Structure 1
Amino acid sequence: MRKTDGTAKAIAGQAGLFLLVAFLGAGALGALQPWTRIPGEVIELTQFGPALGVLTVALVWPARVRAVLAGAVRGCGGRSGALLLVTAPLVIAAAATAYGLATGDAHVTAPGALHHPFVLIVVAQLIGACGEEIGWRCFLQPLLRTRWGLVPASAAVGLVWGVWHVQVFALAPAYAAGFLLSTVSMSVVLGVALERVRGSRLLLAGGFHALVNLGMLLLMDEESGAVLPMVLFGAACLAAAVVWVWAGVRRAPARIESILEHVR
């Protein structure tokens, strides 16, 4: 019992420190962005808050962080990884189609109409997404997974991920609800997909995240604060999560047991 209690306290301490730095770091980086003159359309510096959180935890528990991050970069994503990357454009397509049918006016922004070169935006979006995902899906998700079931752990990360975007709560309640539905649902998709792969988790999670961001930039109107596109996007994400969970949640791979041993 004592060993179990000690493991739970260690995980709580690691997760707590990570979240503290991720939230505060994102706020500090957001305040710094205007001074850097880096356009928010290209990349949001707040995205690196989770990376700062992982770095801080690594300074205190280096061996444990190495164990949790095992497989984040090296290895192959395999079939599940490929299906994950396909899911992102399908979700955007479903939401954009529903939005077009509901309003009679499809919202499409041509890449050339953006204020900055599209190639630059694509690269920057992938870098920024990886800055987030090294914290959410490569650290916090497998850390919580050592104590909780796959879907509860994924949903918890998605909820925290949504609350981390604190600015959405200044908008309409329905918008915030749609946004939280999308983050929880996407987190479940990512959790189930990454449970089945042994490597490249950072690139896969970052790729999925970046594809969603780019799709919303080009095909959705949620940045204006409009409720309908965000609610439809949340519904599309929920549908994707249901499909992934229905397809079957497999047993935790040996990697989870390895993480448990190091966390203890």
Structure 2
Amino acid sequence: MGNADGQTLARPDAAGALPGAGPRGRITAKAAVFLTVAFLAAGALGAAQAGTPIPTEVVQLTQFGPALGVAVVAVLWRGEIRSLLSGVLRGGARFGARGALLLATAPLIVALCAAVYDLVTGDVRFTGPSGLDNPLALIVVAQFIGACGEELGWRCLLQPLLRTRCGPLASSVTVGLLWGVWHVRVFAQDPAYAGAFLLATVSLSVVLGSALERMRGSRLLFAGGFHMLINLGLLLFMDEESGAVLPMVLFALAGLTAAVVWTLGTKRAAGPAR
């Protein structure tokens, strides 16, 4: 990603990997510690939420599991992790267009799957603010905070960590698979639903990985904003949380479409730069 002050970008080697995260064994250890804490903390937080008045419609406490994983890894490998996380919240004007395009992609994904759902079923799924159990403004703020809790781990730590050893597509797919498996409750659903969910997380991870590639600042804000917009769009326009297979399949295919477009666009932009 960059040096400790976040002012420069490391150049990828011939294989497309970024330097600066230490020996391979230590990278494996960091990833293993992060994933262990993220999984265990998410389970504990999910169980704890049942004893709180916090509704899951507003925020799911499990989303802060990855943030706790980052905290533990940062304590154990303080210097190296500070370098990986440098500039997470710092912005840069020249990345504004890419960030805006990333944020615009989220409602486009939701609009595509909602439109196809309406075309297939003839049923427009829309829940207005008055149909929600909680104020929309509260949901928006809480969803953004929760999304940042997730993305601090997936896109601001694990993605750059894996990126030091492999290219953007491979690291994005790997993070997407782990991110999907982390939602362990989805595997209690129909196998087709679970498979579509994994395709969706991989596709969204590829979109995020492509958009955030070489972005030295504001990674957390853009990733969290994209994640929040996806969650809000699904809450208002789709019913995939019911366990219905069709909306999840359509969401996965819409995400896959966006991932292909972003991947091709990134490769085309990288050609002249090289």
What's the TM-score once normalised by structure 1's chain length? 0.92
Q: Deviations over 1:158-215 (max 9, x none)?
A: 0000000001100001101110000000000000100042210000000000000000
Q: Deviations over 1:23-82 (max 9, x none)?
A: 000000001001122100000000000000000001100111111111210113421111
Report the count of equivalent residues.
248
Greater fraction helix: 1
Q: Which residue, 1, 15, 24 being the options, matches 2:40? A: 24
Taking the TM superposition and a 5 Å limit, the aligned residue runs for 1:36-55 are: 36-55=52-71
Q: Confirm or deny that 1:152 pairs with 2:167.
A: no
Question: Does the Cα contact within 8 Å between 1:182 and 1:234 map onto a contact in 2?
Answer: yes
- In structure 1, the residue matched to 2:244 is 226
Q: 1:249 Cα deviation (Å)?
A: 3.4
What CA distance in whole angstroms lies between the structure 2 residues aligned with 1:74 and 1:248?
Answer: 22
Q: Confirm or deny that 1:194 pairs with 2:212.
A: yes
Q: 1:15 Cα deviation (Å)?
A: 0.4
Question: Does the Cα contact within 8 Å between 1:192 and 1:249 map onto a contact in 2?
Answer: no
4+ runs deviating over 6 angstroms: none
What CA distance in whole angstroms lies between the structure 2 residues aligned with 1:248 and 1:144?
Answer: 19
- In structure 1, the residue matched to 2:5 is none
Q: Deviations over 1:83-117 (max 9, x none)?
A: 00000000000000000101000100001210000
Taking the TM superposition and a 5 Å limit, the aligned residue runs for 1:1-264 are: 7-76=23-92, 77-249=95-267
What CA distance in whole angstroms lies between the structure 1 residues aligned with 2:224 and 2:136?
Answer: 18
What's the TM-score once normalised by structure 2's chain length? 0.88
Question: Does the Cα contact within 8 Å between 1:53 and 1:135 map onto a contact in 2?
Answer: yes
Aligned Cα root-mean-square deviation (Å): 1.4
Amino acid at match of 1:133: E
Question: Does the Cα contact within 8 Å between 1:78 and 1:197 map onto a contact in 2?
Answer: no
**Where do 5+ consecutive residues of structure 1 fail to align?**
253-264
Identity over aligned pairs, percent:
64
Q: 1:251 Cα deviation (Å)?
A: 9.6
Q: Which SS does the other structure have where 2:23 is aligned? A: helix
Q: Which SS does the other structure have where 1:35 is aligned? A: coil
What CA distance in whole angstroms lies between the structure 2 residues aligned with 1:35 and 1:248?
Answer: 45
What CA distance in whole angstroms lies between the structure 2 residues aligned with 1:173 and 1:68?
Answer: 36
Amino acid at match of 2:55: P
Amino acid at match of 2:84: V
